[in-house]
Amino acid sequence: MQNITILGATGSIGASTLNVLARHPERYGVYALTAHSQVDQLAAQCAQFRPQVAVVGSADAAQALSRLLRAQGSSTQVEYGEAALCAVASAPQCDAVMAAIVGAAGLAPTLAAARAGKKILLANKEALVMSGRLFMDTVTANGATLLPIDSEHNAIFQCLPHGYQRLPANQGVARILLTASGGPFLTRAVETLDAVTPDEAVAHPNWVMGRKISVDSATMMNKGLEVIEAHWLFGVQADQIEVVIHPQSVIHSLVSYVDGSVLAQLGNPDMRTPIAHALAYPERIASGVAQIDLAQIACLTFERPDFKRFPCLKLAYDALQAGGTAPAILNAANEIAVQAFLDGQIGFRAIDQLIARVMDKLPHSEVTDIEALREQDRRAREVANSLIS
């Protein structure tokens, strides 16, 4: 029996994870569930999965959750705040951590899980983009296991040689091909993009996801963050990572070998596949996802991304090349820009413009420790906010 902590249980990935766990009660127990403010949903999850601990974002939310849990006669202990998130991610009672908080807020607890040598199922790509080498070194130094949940990286993981050591040349890996759907605006006239609404931007053609990652998919910043994520996870350089637009989202990514072989992982676009893969690795368990019907899909197409349509993708490649804290600055500026767009404060095209201006204004430096990183993150948010108002 493995006991799991789910950071971000009420989100899209959190709910899909619980859906898979519920299919295998003999294999998995739930140690802790966390949410920021959705206490009703968290209380319902606690009633079904009976975690030992539930963590929320504030004292008020904790009080509201405690009231709901008392009414259920539940024995789940309620905590709040970042220290409590770090505690449930590193507790001895927990074997594996699903890191599914959105954005930089997930960094501290995900790092805490790495420091405690846990098995980490990483959905929270922003944490890795921000902390890069620091995160990977923490994983290695503490004997933690890192398994990618992002569908592309999970696909790549499945296509790499067994026991891959992040040294592509040693194992014949030439390139990584990251597929991208192109999001909802792949064919829309570029001149009309500034007029798109938040509802249009979050209406992804193939995947149902949280609002922030949905906007990231529309700008393709999501793919940019994934390029940086692939660099750290697999030890490949920027020029070995090619983004290929594949609107059907059936091939989740590919690995190209020096002998000309290309291995791909395919499946229906449903996050329960990578979640089940990582949970059970190296075994396989049922996820609830239907088998693909290739004859019905009939046609798979591919094209190159256009940096003029998707300037965020270029900004992310630039941040990766710049190194140091540049990806953390990129990520922070993007989080502020996306929220401002969702709140109706700025237009869609202002997202990439704002990020570019923050990148220009703020010098990047070496990543020394988490405190320095958080300071850069805070500075970048401050600059981004000042440019909006």
Residues that bind ligand NAD (CB under 6 A): 8-14, 35-36, 38, 57, 100-102, 105, 123-126, 150, 207, 209-210, 212-213, 271
Q: Which is nearer to Mg ion, 152 or 377 (CB)?
A: 152
Q: What's the token pair of residue 221? A: 């910043």
Q: If contact means CB under 5 to 8 A according to the sort of partner, which of ligand NAD, Mg ion, none does residue 213 touch?
A: ligand NAD
AA letter at 326: A
Cβ distance to ligand NAD smaller for residue 130 or 168: 130
Q: Which does 209 bind (CB under 5 to 8 A by kind): Mg ion, ligand NAD, none?
A: ligand NAD
Residue with smallest beta-carbon separation from Mg ion: 150
* Contact footprint for Mg ion (CB under 5 A): 150-152
Nearer to Mg ion, 32 or 130 (CB): 130
Partner in contact with 124, chosen from Mg ion, ligand NAD, none, beta carbon below 5 to 8 Å by kind: ligand NAD
Pairing of strands 173-180, 241-245: parallel
Q: Nearest approach, Cβ of 174 to ligand NAD (angstroms)?
A: 25
Residue 249 or 256: the one with the smaller Cβ distance to Mg ion is 249
Give the neighbor-by-neighbor strand order of the sheet with 96-99: 77-80, 53-56, 28-34, 2-7, 96-99, 119-122, 145-148
> Which amino acid appears at position 350 of this protein?
A
Laid out side by side, the sheet with 251-257 consists of 241-245, 173-180, 251-257, 262-266
Closest-by-Cβ residue to ligand NAD is: 11
Number of H helices, E strands in the chain: 16, 11
Closer by beta carbon to ligand NAD, 126 or else 352: 126
78-87: long-range contacts, CB 8 A cutoff, minimum separation 24: 78/53, 78/54, 79/53, 79/54, 79/55, 80/55, 80/56, 81/55, 81/57, 82/108, 82/109, 84/53, 84/55, 85/7, 85/34, 85/55, 85/109, 85/112, 86/112, 87/112
CB of 203 to Mg ion, least distance (A): 17
User: Using CB distances below 5 to 8 A depending on partner kind, what does residue 102 bind out of ligand NAD, Mg ion, none?
Assistant: ligand NAD
- Least distance in angstroms from the C-beta of 366 to ligand NAD: 25
- Please choose which of Mg ion, ligand NAD, none residue 11 contacts, taking the beta carbon within 5 to 8 angstroms, the exact cut-off set by kind: ligand NAD
Closer to Mg ion by CB, 126 or 152: give it.
Answer: 152
Q: Whose CA is closest to 217, among 245, 188, 184?
A: 184
The letter for the amino acid at 157 is: F
User: CB-wise, 5 or 38, nearer to ligand NAD?
Assistant: 38
Taking the complex as a whole, the smallest distance from the CB of residue 275 to Mg ion amounts, in Å, to 13
Nearest distance from C-beta of residue 226 to Mg ion, angstroms: 6
Cβ atoms of 153 and 235 within 8 Å: the answer is no
Q: In whole angstroms, how close is the CB of 122 to Mg ion at the nearest point?
A: 11
Cis-peptide into 51, omega within 30 deg: no
Closer residue to ligand NAD, CB minimum distance, 118 or 125: 125
Q: Which residues of 78-109 are buried (b: 16+ CB within 10 A; e: fewer)?
A: bbbeeebbbbbbbbeebebbbbbbbbbbbbbb
Q: Among ligand NAD, Mg ion, none, what binds residue 55 when CB lies within 5 to 8 Å by partner kind?
A: none
Q: In whole angstroms, how close is the CB of 130 to ligand NAD at the nearest point?
A: 11
